[in-house]
């Protein structure tokens, strides 16, 4: 085993996934936001919402292009950096990998048709129908790739006899116990993140002095959707905790710094570890028992039940805290905004509150990153839980550090390039200019 190769392979994979997850999240969530905006516009005969869909669709193309590149890179790196893992897992879980590619092609074909035919339908309802396959394809692409990730956490559908795979059942491997909670969590958090990101853009425009009704409508619609998906995320997160308690108790114990098996287990938030002792933490009595078993008194398995070498890194505790704190914070902000609209609270339109909403966009991205770090780092030391460690699945090549430099440069170019392109696209075509142009054509 080449320890240097394992280390750099993990770093490169971490960098790649951390970059890709941003564009993958946009790729999954934005089509739903476009579809809802266009549907609301058609239903209410409001051209502002239809214009939202049109403008968001233009920006979506840029993020899709970057997502395709980074997604291709991930496929390449799986084979180059983790050949031993792919040799084993590829025989069992290749079906959803193939189906993910098919789902992407399905999405891309209809996206092209949807964009090309904006002004070719007198009936907007018919044009909206073209977006349904785009949204379905985007979400199903996430579903299939998440199934692969779920398999890594809960492998099944095969037997290992003398180091050889036998009795391979691809469908059993696909529908493993981790699938329901993982797939639901990935989809709903993507929708939530995109809602808050688009809301933050609208709030930024309003905060900078634009008082256009278009931005107000966009902010209201996205905050309402953000609230709905935040509630759904909290509910699914609860089920995820119960899944971990049953199938990956070591991961739950590490995330909660639950070192000793006990009843009436408290939920530990924040804090630091000092020689194995938890200091400066906030403890919520009985909450971990409830999260794990829907009972305030039931026993929760601690890390004392597992060999030290199988303990996940204790740092995932902070990833869990960041993810949950941001999620609950955004749920609170969205609730305050919606109640404020209903009760006509004046501070909802203040700069300081809109600034909080603006922060919600990048905070939601941070929560997505923290969630994926929790998912991937929390599985360590396994790449295929119970069967293959990360070290056993890695390449022995000594050139991975050089690959890290090259791919980091690629991600920097893609990241900066996409941001600059999107900024120029909308700066050169502000909403006032586009509405004036469409009004001159009698479309608004």
Which pLDDT score, from 0 to 100, does residue 434 have? 62
Give every residue of the chain whose pLDDT is below 70, as ranges.
1-2, 163, 430-444
**C-alpha distance from residue 251 to each of 241, 347, 380, 435 (Å):** 10, 42, 9, 52
277 in a domain, yes or no?
A: no
Decide: 299 and 263 in contact? Cβ < 8 Å: yes
Give the single-character DSSP code of 313: P
Residue 345: the pLDDT is: 83
User: Does 284 map to a domain?
Assistant: no
Task: Decide if 328 is inside a domain.
Answer: yes
Let me know if residue 9 belongs to a domain.
yes
CA count, 13 A, side-chain hemisphere, 135: 19
Q: Give domain status of residue 278, yes or no.
A: no
State the pLDDT at residue 331: 92
Quick one: pLDDT at residue 433? 62
Q: What per-residue confidence (pLDDT) applies to 171?
A: 87
Q: Is residue 268 part of a domain?
A: no
- Asked if the structure places residue 293 within a domain, the reply is no
pLDDT at position 227 is 93
pLDDT digits (tens, 9 = 90+) for 293-322: 888 888 888 888 888 888 888 888 899 899
pLDDT at 159: 81
Instruction: Provide the pLDDT for residue 230.
Output: 92
End-to-end CA distance of the chain: 66
| Segments forming the whole domain that contains residue 171 | 3-261+301-440
* Tally of domains in the chain: 1
């Amino acid at each position: 085993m080449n320890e240097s190769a394992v280390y750099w392979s993990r770093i490169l994979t971490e960098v790649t996934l951390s970059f890709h997850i941003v564009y993958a999240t946009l790729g999954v969530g934005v089509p739903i936001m476009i579809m809802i905006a266009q549907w609301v516009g058609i239903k209410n005969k409001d051209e502002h919402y239809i214009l939202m869909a049109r403008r968001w669709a233009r920006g979506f193309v840029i993020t899709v292009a970057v997502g395709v590149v980074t997604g291709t890179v991930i496929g390449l790196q799986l084979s180059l950096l983790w050949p031993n893992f792919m040799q084993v897992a590829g025989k069992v879980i290749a079906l959803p990998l193939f189906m993910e590619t098919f789902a992407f092609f399905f999405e891309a074909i209809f996206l092209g048709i949807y964009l090309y035919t904006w002004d070719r339908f007198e009936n907007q309802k018919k044009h909206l129908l073209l977006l349904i396959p785009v949204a379905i394809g985007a979400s199903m692409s996430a579903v299939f790739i998440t199934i692969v990730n779920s398999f890594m956490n809960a492998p099944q559908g095969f037997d290992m006899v003398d180091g050889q795979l036998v009795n391979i059942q691809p469908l059993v491997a696909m529908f493993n116990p981790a699938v329901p909670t993982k797939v639901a969590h990935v989809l709903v958090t993507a929708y939530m993140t995109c809602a808050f990101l688009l809301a933050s853009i609208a709030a930024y425009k309003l905060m900078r002095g634009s008082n256009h009704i278009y931005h107000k409508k966009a902010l209201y619609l996205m905050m309402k959707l953000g609230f709905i998906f935040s509630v759904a995320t909290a509910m699914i997160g609860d089920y995820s905790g119960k899944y971990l308690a049953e199938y990956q108790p070591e991961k739950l114990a590490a995330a909660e710094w639950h070192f000793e098996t006990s009843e009436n287990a408290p939920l530990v938030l924040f804090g630091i570890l000092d020689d194995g002792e938890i200091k400066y933490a906030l403890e919520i009595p009985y909450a971990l028992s409830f999260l794990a078993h829907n009972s305030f008194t039931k026993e929760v398995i601690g890390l004392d039940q597992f060999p030290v070498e199988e303990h996940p890194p204790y740092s995932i505790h902070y990833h869990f805290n960041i993810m949950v704190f941001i999620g609950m914070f955004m749920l609170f902000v969205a609730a305050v905004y919606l109640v404020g609209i209903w009760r006509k609270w004046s501070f909802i339109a203040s700069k300081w509150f809109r600034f909080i909403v603006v922060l919600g966009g990048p905070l939601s991205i941070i929560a997505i990153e923290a969630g994926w770090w929790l998912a991937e780092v929390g599985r360590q030391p396994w790449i295929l839980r119970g069967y293959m460690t990360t070290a056993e699945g890695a390449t022995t090549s000594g050139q991975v550090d050089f690959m890290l430099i090259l791919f980091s440069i690629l991600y920097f170019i893609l990241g900066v390039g996409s941001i600059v392109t999107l900024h120029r696209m909308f700066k050169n075509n502000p909403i006032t200019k586009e509405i004036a142009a469409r009004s001159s054509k009698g479309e608004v």
